[in-house]
Amino acid sequence: MVAGAAGFIGSHLCERLVEQGADVVGVDNMLTGCKDNLAALDASPRFRLIEHDVTAPLTLKGNVDLVLHLASPASPRDYRRLPIATLKSGALGTLHLLELAQAKQARFVLASTSEVYGDPLEHPQFESYWGNVNPIGPRSVYDEAKRFAEALTASFRRDCAIETSIVRIFNTYGPRMRPDDGRAVPAFLHQALTSVPLTVAGDGSQTRSLCYIADTVAGILAAAAHGHLGPVNIGNPQEVTILELAETIRDLCRSTSPITFVPLPFDDPKRRCPDITTARKLLGWTPQVNLMDGLAHTLAATTAVREQIASDT
């Protein structure tokens, strides 16, 4: 069962599981997800979608071997406009899905985030780092929801004998990201393709480590198969500044859009880069897609969607 199935990462995860021969039940309340993301699975007898909000209890008939919890608003724009829903998905959603896993004697995998490290004072970030998080700032609704979800997951493992894993997902990009979701890659692609200025926050010197969606999905499934309790970082240690990313995407799109600078959001992390020693040694996982290839795949998919929309209208 995949909660958050119609989201960006969730939909790719469902596809990969079905490709590997699994029978998958997807669950999503469509708050930020989109059924179109699951269009490739419409005809598959191995996939079923249930519209449900995991902040309410959920029952499923039959056996369940694995519960993957990705249900949450994930982009800054979404969790800032949906703060209470974000907190509830981290708290009540995690509780109800852990209870489901307990009832089904299933393994539980929590999709946590690099945001639990806040604006890190350690670089790169190891799983042992406790973070530098503002608990009441504008980003806290997402940061603290995931930190609580991790604590709840660890408690169920200790006290209820449930097999659990926690993956901390770093910045992921690829096809199906909404152009208006506030994250850098889809925003820059949309701006470059529509010949408007690329808006870089601050002076653009802040860094991110971008992992292509296929690699992120492979990392999540490697953790699920291994059973490492985690947390384990899933991300690409290749660091890039936001300004470099904007320039790279503009060149890739062959765009003449200028780059403009806007104020840096409050509590925006200055550096973000995972140490993936644990994932490499225990899970045998490392990212395989380099940034230029991943951006090229994302651009091709974005262009195809834009052409389809233009054709339909």
Q: Which two tokens stand for residue 30?
A: 């469509």
| 142 tagged catalytic | yes
Pick the catalytic residue from 79, 117, 142, 173.
142
How many of the other CB atoms lie within 10 Å of CB of 236? Answer: 28
Angle, alpha carbons 24-28-34 (nearest 5°): 105
In angstroms, rounded to a whole number, what is the distance separating the alpha carbons of residues 253 and 256? 9
81-106 burial: b if 16+ Cβ within 10 Å, else e: ebbebbbbbbbebbbbbbbbbeebeb
State how far the Cα of 219 lies from the Cα of 184, in Å rounded to an integer.
22
- Rounded to whole angstroms, the Cα distance separating 261 from 204 reads 8
Residues contacting residue 177 through CB under 8 Å, at least 6 positions apart: 8, 183, 185, 186, 298
Q: Within a 13 Å sphere around the CA of 221, how many CA atoms are in the beta-carbon half?
A: 20
DSSP structure class, residue 116 = G
Annotated catalytic residues are 142
